[in-house]
């Protein structure tokens, strides 16, 4: 048989009908038209205008690095201020500074040069030197020369040796900016000089700037807590360690961990309450358990309403009653999922095998015992697997409810993002959330796999699969 014969004899199988061809063409066309409309209406083309790589890279840098500021005013060249992240509350005190009786404490990357200048060493091997009347940078990459920046008679900054200026020095009328990479930055203004020195890592993560344990570092502090003399005579080293860690002023560990606990309990208690309410109600909504159609219809509609009024709106209602806090989240999750679990479980009960129940009935058991031994063993794996599934998705939900005002880690995260400066805290909290969600996810997936074999299927698909077996 050749091709034309096949087409002639088996046209109903081989040849696609014109109408079905058109149908799929129209579908594809429709999708393309919709996507064009959506791209236009959502302003997708605007993305490159709003996206500033400079800002994004600075933001990204801030999540995993920290910076130290060195500021010198031209009017007071002796009073150099070295501070962590430019904060007034975390300033180093060094020999080149007017100290007010504070103990000397200055970072190892600063030193005093032969002419009394302050030398700042960078990771790239170069130095920035702050003199009384000039600023020099020496030994920087791409340039062997020492570049000198001074103020002219009008008080405007200029570069003394202009011949071959590297690309990474930008000279404008009022400012010279030296920025060979994201990690070093020297800015010379007409009023002051500002040096930013970036370092990888989260600084002061364990203990904050002012903590008595800060000079020891975390490992030394831990070994101190088991032996050695008391750092603070009033309190044992171990309690000091815990207290200083939790009360870290820069990372707020205590506050954040408590918020995380609140969020976890929101999800846990919300799901548990939903399970405790939904499970018995499901029996009253299933036709093979409850003969009264009236009761079943009412319960079905109740489930639909609870589920349909989204947890967002429930949390708004509960927020008014309970104020910000875990109860709002717990009840919002519990009410929504009572509806969901109730509906799923009542369907599961209706789809159970009748034979087991009949078997129990044949032994003369009453209705309650029939349900206990005829139905519950069949639906229990599905019930537990569904509850775990909702526990997992509610962990994410609790973060969101938290940000809407119910408190917990969500609210902390929202606060940190809104300040727009503490991106390392945002990163820290995001990683904590990620950790908790992944933990919940893996745990519930493991249990579900053990119970039901296929952890991803929804209740109806699980039932369909079990029925096939």
Partner 1 sequence: MQSSLPENLIKIESNLKSLTRTRSIYSFLSIAALIAVIYSGLIVAETGNATSIWVGLPKFFDYPVDLFVGSWEYGYRWNLLLLEYLPDLISTINMALFSTAMGTLLAFFLSIFSSRNLIKSKTTVLIFRRIMDICRSFPELVIALVLLYLLGKSALPAVIAIIIHTAGALGKLFSEAIENVDKNPIEGLESCGASWFTRIRFGVVTQALPLFLTYTILRFEINIRASTILGFVGAGGIGEQLYTNIQWKYEADTIAIMFLLVSTIIALDYLSSYWRKSLIGLKS
Q: Which is nearer to partner 1, 94 or 339 (CB)?
A: 339
> Is residue 353 part of the contact set for partner 1 (CB under 8 A)?
no
> Is residue 162 part of the contact set for partner 1 (CB under 8 A)?
no
Only segment of 2-10, 147-155, 226-234, 414-422 that touches partner 1 (CB under 8 A) = 414-422
Count of residues touching partner 1 (by CB under 8 A): 71
Residue that has been written with the tokens 């599961």 in this structure = 348
Helices (H), 139-227: 217-226
- The structure tokens listed for 33 are 């038209």
Count of CB atoms situated within 10 Å of the CB of 453: 14
> Is residue 378 part of the contact set for partner 1 (CB under 8 A)?
no
Residue 426 near residue 417 (C-beta atoms within 8 A): yes
> Is residue 417 part of the contact set for partner 1 (CB under 8 A)?
yes
> Is residue 272 part of the contact set for partner 1 (CB under 8 A)?
yes
Phi then psi for 353, rounded to 5 degrees?
-70, 135
> Is residue 307 part of the contact set for partner 1 (CB under 8 A)?
yes
Q: Which is nearer to partner 1, 248 or 263 (CB)?
A: 263
What distances in angstroms separate CA 412 from CA 56, 122, 340, 401, 422, one per listed residue? 22, 35, 29, 12, 12
Q: Restricting to residues 20-59, which ones interact with partner 1 according to CB under 8 A?
A: 31, 34-35, 38-39, 41-44, 46-47, 50-51, 55-56, 59
> Is residue 414 part of the contact set for partner 1 (CB under 8 A)?
yes
> Is residue 157 part of the contact set for partner 1 (CB under 8 A)?
no
> Is residue 438 part of the contact set for partner 1 (CB under 8 A)?
yes
**Minimum distance between the CB of residue 13 and partner 1, rounded to whole angstroms?**
15
Look at residue 352 and give its three-state secondary structure.
coil
Give the strand order in the sheet containing 76-84: 91-92, 76-84, 65-73, 192-200, 184-189, 175-178, 169-171
Only segment of 102-110, 143-151, 179-187, 306-314 that touches partner 1 (CB under 8 A) = 306-314
> Is residue 461 part of the contact set for partner 1 (CB under 8 A)?
yes
Only segment of 76-84, 146-154, 201-209, 456-464 that touches partner 1 (CB under 8 A) = 456-464
Q: Which is nearer to partner 1, 224 or 404 (CB)?
A: 404
* Near partner 1 by CB under 8 A: residue from 7, 434, 443, 450: 434
List of long-range contacts for 238-241, beta carbons under 8 Å, 24+ apart? 240/212, 240/213, 241/213
- CA dist., res. 17 & res. 23, Å (int): 10
**Minimum distance between the CB of residue 456 and partner 1, rounded to whole angstroms?**
5
Q: Restricting to residues 223-262, which ones interact with partner 1 according to CB under 8 A?
A: 258, 261-262
Only segment of 180-188, 226-234, 288-296, 317-325 that touches partner 1 (CB under 8 A) = 317-325
- CA dist., res. 141 & res. 147, Å (int): 12
Give residues with Cβ within 8 angstroms of 97, minimum separation 6. Answer: 78, 79, 80, 81, 82
């Amino acid at each position: 048989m050749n091709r034309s014969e096949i087409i002639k004899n088996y046209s109903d199988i081989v040849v696609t009908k014109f109408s079905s061809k058109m149908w799929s063409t129209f579908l594809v066309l429709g999708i393309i038209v919709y996507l064009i409309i959506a791209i236009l209406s959502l302003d997708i083309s605007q993305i490159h205008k709003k996206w500033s790589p400079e800002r994004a890279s600075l933001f990204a840098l801030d999540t995993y690095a920290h910076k130290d500021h060195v500021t010198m005013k031209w009017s007071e060249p002796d009073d150099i201020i070295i501070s962590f992240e430019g904060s007034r509350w975390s300033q180093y005190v060094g020999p080149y500074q007017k100290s007010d009786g504070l103990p000397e404490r200055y970072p190892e990357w600063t030193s005093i040069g032969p002419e009394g200048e302050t030398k700042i060493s960078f990771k790239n091997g170069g130095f920035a030197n702050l003199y009384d009347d000039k600023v020099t940078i020496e030994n920087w990459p791409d340039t062997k020369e020492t570049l000198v920046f001074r103020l002219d008679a009008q008080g405007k900054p200029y570069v003394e040796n202009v011949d071959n200026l590297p690309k990474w020095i930008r000279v404008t009328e009022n400012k010279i900016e030296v920025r060979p990479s994201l990690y070093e930055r020297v800015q010379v203004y007409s009023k002051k000089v500002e040096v930013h020195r970036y370092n990888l890592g989260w600084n002061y993560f364990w203990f904050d700037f002012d903590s008595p344990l800060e000079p020891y570092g975390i490992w030394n502090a831990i070994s101190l807590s088991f032996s050695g003399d008391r750092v603070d005579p009033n309190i044992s080293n171990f309690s000091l360690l815990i207290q200083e860690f939790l009360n870290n002023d820069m990372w707020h560990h205590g506050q954040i961990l408590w918020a995380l606990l609140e969020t976890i309990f929101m999800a846990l208690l919300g799901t548990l309450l939903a399970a405790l309410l939904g499970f018995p109600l499901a029996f009253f909504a299933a036709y093979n358990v409850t003969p009264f159609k009236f009761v079943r219809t009412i319960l079905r509609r109740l489930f639909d309403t609870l589920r349909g009024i989204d947890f967002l709106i429930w949390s708004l209602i509960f927020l008014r009653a309970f104020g910000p806090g875990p109860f709002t989240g717990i009840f919002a999750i519990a009410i929504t999922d009572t509806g969901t679990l109730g509906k799923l479980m009542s369907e599961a009960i209706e789809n159970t095998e009748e034979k087991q129940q009949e078997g129990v009935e044949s032994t003369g058991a009453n209705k309650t015992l029939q349900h206990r031994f005829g139905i519950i063993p069949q639906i229990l794996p599905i019930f537990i697997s569904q509850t775990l599934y909702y526990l997992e998705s509610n962990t994410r939900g609790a973060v969101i409810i938290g940000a809407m005002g119910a408190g917990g880690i969500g609210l902390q995260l929202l606060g940190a993002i809104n300040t727009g400066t503490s991106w390392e805290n945002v990163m820290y909290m995001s990683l904590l959330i990620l950790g908790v969600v992944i933990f919940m996810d893996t745990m519930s997936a493991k249990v579900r796999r053990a119970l039901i074999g296929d952890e991803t299927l929804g209740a109806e698909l699980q039932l369909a699969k079990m029925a096939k077996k």
